[in-house]
Amino acid sequence: MQTILVTGGSGLVGNAINTISNDYKYNFVFVSSKDYNLLHLEETQQMFQTFKPDYVIHLAGCVGGLYKNMNNKVDMLEKNLMINYNVIKSAHDFHVKKLIACLSTCIFPDETNYPIDEDMLHNGPPHNSNYTYAYAKRMLEIHCRAYKEEFENDFVCITPTNIYGPYDNFDLENGHVLPSLIHKCYLAKKEDVPFIIRGSGKPLRQFIYSEDLAKLILLILETKESIDNIILSVSENDEVSIEEVARLIAKKYDYEHRIAFDTSYSDGQYKKTVTNKKLTQLIGDFTFTSMKNGINKTVDWFVSKQEQKQ
């Protein structure tokens, strides 16, 4: 049985892959920072030597929401550069058959035409709110492309849109917008205070449920077609505002009447609409989880975890 090594295995997407792993005939190995420190090349190579993976799904990184990116610029740059370098180099040195590395739609140029496609990645600077993280991720794409061009390594970069689901980081300050809102609404209702959304709620985003993304990643891994960089996203028509997301969350908690917006906070990038045309051409139709169902599942998971702590 062939082995798939998943870095960042304890995170949002790693857990989603773990959830569906029994549907696939591979030996999955999920590793986290508790197992190996990927900031160190020797430890990364030791991991590859131990598991001898046939395939690698590289999800590990230093990640967070808007405010973590704004307040931890050096960490977001240096840690991601080091982790990505060590994993990509090791995948080449240990003759991995295929590697899938995870980018993010927030690394595309701030000033661009919409919808964004894969060829626009390096057409201009990213939004200044997350530029260090963005440039580190862009270097990951360049690194993979260089190995592919010089050594014919099958290194593929995937670019998911905003991911959410069970096992997310629900930290109020450093989590991404959707899980942070789920946590914030839970506390607001518990304390009988307004559910306050930072910013105007007007920015637009595309969201993908983590289990949908896990299935798409394994479809990409198993495809025989040559791919350099591919966006994994719902369609342009499924773009929603932060306000719409907040209202879906509040409705699940039966707390819609207590929503308020604090416009003293930055909205960040207004929109970053991407096209999934390349994906649909590759795999055909794919049924995505609706925002309502995905949010309901995620809130149920989060609440169950909170109740277990009590």
Q: Would you mind telling me the total number of residues written for the chain in this entry?
A: 310
Give catalytic residues, as residue numbers: 133
Give the start-to-end residue ranges of the domains of the chain: 3-164+208-234, 177-204+237-272+291-309
pLDDT confidence of residue 69: 65
pLDDT confidence of residue 67: 58
Architecture in CATH of 3-164+208-234: 3-Layer(aba) Sandwich (3.40)
Question: What mean pLDDT do residues 83-108 have?
Answer: 96
Do 82 and 136 meet the contact criterion of CB atoms below 8 Å apart?
A: no
pLDDT confidence of residue 187: 96
Domain 177-204+237-272+291-309 belongs to what topology?
Answer: UDP-galactose 4-epimerase; domain 1 (3.90.25)
Q: Which residues contact 38 (CB under 8 A, 6 or more apart)?
A: 7, 44, 47, 60, 82, 83, 86, 87
Instruction: Provide the 3-class DSSP secondary structure of residue 182.
Output: helix
Q: Is the pLDDT of residue 115 over 80?
A: yes
Matching fold, domains 3-164+208-234 and 177-204+237-272+291-309: no
Give 289's DSSP letter: P
